[in-house]
A and B are shown apart, each in its own frame.
Chain A
Amino acid sequence: MKLSYDVVVVGGGPAGSMAAWEAAKGGASVCIFEKDREIGSPVRCGEAAGESGLKQFVDINDAWIAERITGAKLGSPSGKLINIEFETETGYILNRKIFDYDLSRYAANAGSEVYTKAYVKDILKNDGFVNGVVIDYLGKECSIKSEIVIGADGLSSRVGRWGGMKTNVKMKDMESAIQYSVSNIEVKRNKMIMYVGKKYAPGGYLWIFPKGK
């Protein structure tokens, strides 16, 4: 681990890895710090993504795809079910463990360093400019200098706040959820299911995504 980089990226999810990949391709010295012990795990995500969105950034690797989604069944509050066949878009249910890991591997292959179990606990500032981070790594605290700090630490990002931005989320804009992986149930492959309405999902929505056989 160096004591200074051109770019430090906080968070090893897709956003952090893509940022690190681009910066490394551009010739910057880059380091990703990820607080969890693994990239891509645990998965706290429905893992649904559209093909056209992904293709803008990466060549899609089949290993990332758990299921292709070609249509949807939507349940309305009145109970009506609507079947939709996608005409111009293909959806994917991803294996984010593999997807996230591959993106970080692309960043690493381009020259970025990647540390897991590295918790960024603060940013460094000098003269009103952000110039690094303070990490907790293997029980030791160290200061790592950088020209740029990219806060890719997710919805509950603290890096933005430490930098003086109001990144906490208003309650009316938050919806918390729980998800389960379930096997041995009958679902149509290639179709996603979504319900709204108080019978199944009061105040929110319920989704069922097939994840392959």
Chain B
Amino acid sequence: MINIRKDLCDYCGACISVCPVDCIEVREYSIKIDSILCIDCDLCVYICPVEVLESNIEA
């Protein structure tokens, strides 16, 4: 499960590029991560240039 700090997101889509399971959708001003498809690899967390994404395995 990934937490998203939406106020910081610039919707650049870098996270989409690295996601191995295509569970991220970024539109003009929105970002959604499908928590069921997400495998918690955290690649999106690492690649985000503005540190918008946070790993949250407990949830």
Q: Which residues of A contact B (CB under 8 A)?
A: 35-37, 42, 44, 117, 119, 121, 154-156, 158, 161, 168-171, 174, 176-178
Contacts and interface: CB of A to CB of B under 8 A. Distances in A.
A37 B48 CA distance: 23
B4 interface: no
B37 interface: no
26 contacts: A35-B27, A36-B28, A42-B10, A44-B10, A117-B28, A119-B27, A155-B14, A156-B13, A156-B15, A156-B26, A158-B16, A158-B22, A168-B17, A168-B19, A171-B18, A171-B43, A171-B46, A171-B47, A174-B14, A174-B17, A174-B18, A174-B47, A176-B12, A176-B14, A177-B49, A178-B49
Interface of B: 10, 12-20, 22, 25-28, 43, 46-50
Given A168-B19, A174-B17, 17 more contacts: A35-B28, A117-B28, A121-B25, A154-B13, A155-B13, A155-B17, A156-B13, A156-B15, A158-B16, A168-B18, A168-B22, A169-B18, A171-B47, A174-B14, A174-B47, A176-B48, A178-B49
Nearest to B46: A171
Given A154-B13, A156-B14, A174-B47, A168 B28 contact: no
Contacts of B12: 44, 176
A169 B20 CA distance: 8
A168 B26 CA distance: 15
B22 A161 contact: yes
Judged by DSSP, the binding face of A is loop
Contact of B16 (A35, A156, A170, A171): A156
A117 B22 CA distance: 22
Contacts of B43: 171
Contacts of B10: 42, 44
A152 to B, nearest CB: 14
A176 B49 contact: yes
Contacts of A158: 16, 22
A155 B22 CA distance: 13
Contacts of B27: 35, 119
Contacts of A37: 28
